[in-house]
Chains A and B, each alone.
Chain A
Amino acid sequence: GENVEQHPSTLSVQEGDSAVIKCTYSDSASNYFPWYKQELGKGPQLIIDIRSNVGEKKDQRIAVTLNKTAKHFSLHITETQPEDSAVYFCALFKGGAGSYQLTFGKGTKLSVIP
């Protein structure tokens, strides 16, 4: 199946600094790339997504960039705050004919130090 590599597995930043998480994939047919945030004791929640016809998307302090040629996409969080501390998962979509499967990276535990 499709693999997605996510780095780093853990990331600590000072409050106010930026955080960057990167994912690489191999299947060029993938066309939808979401990022999910999982807080302790909760299920993952979508925070931003990007489709293959777009190179960058921004939502306030969060941005995602996609390089389809190099097959990698990244999550950028600026001006980090303590409430950004969570596990972040990249994912990619593969599907068709009614089948819709999201394959997740192994996650990045982000700690924002006040």
Chain B
Amino acid sequence: DSGVTQTPKHLITATGQRVTLRCSPRSGDLSVYWYQQSLDQGLQFLIQYYNGEERAKGNILERFSAQQFPDLHSELNLSSLELGDSALYFCASSVMSEAGELFFGEGSRLTVL
């Protein structure tokens, strides 16, 4: 158990809909990262937050947004869903005092029908 909690574990929805994925980082970790994992693209970095502020942005679509709340949990919002958004979405956390280990949750599997 990494200490990172993601909900929901599975989600099935239709094209055009909007979903929210939630992540609770490890106790004490200030930084949260979101990654998308699809079969052909590996682990794609989406966005990073540190203590409530956005710090780095990867290949995140404009239809996607995220935030980190004062209690340090984070939410990833996916809207106007398309079939191609079907993937595993991972949240990871770290202390981020220096380059070091990321602790990953078990992921949220999104299926868009």
Contacts and interface: CB of A to CB of B under 8 A. Distances in A.
Interface of A: 1, 31-32, 34, 36, 41-46, 49, 51, 89, 93, 95, 98-107
A71 B26 CA distance: 33
A89 B50 contact: no
A41 B104 CA distance: 12
Contact of B45 (A43, A46, A89, A102): A102
A95 B99 CA distance: 8
Contacts of B58: 1, 101
Given A95-B56, A106-B41, 11 more contacts: A32-B99, A41-B106, A44-B104, A95-B99, A100-B31, A100-B50, A104-B35, A104-B42, A104-B45, A105-B42, A107-B42
Contacts, number: 63
Interface of B: 2, 4, 31, 33, 35, 41-43, 45, 48, 50, 55-56, 58, 90, 92, 94, 96, 99-102, 104-107
Nearest to A52: B99
A51 B96 CA distance: 16
A100 B42 contact: no
Contact of A45 (B2, B31, B35, B50): B2
A83 B42 CA distance: 22
B113 to A, nearest CB: 21
Contacts of B50: 98, 100
Contacts of A103: 45
Nearest to A100: B96
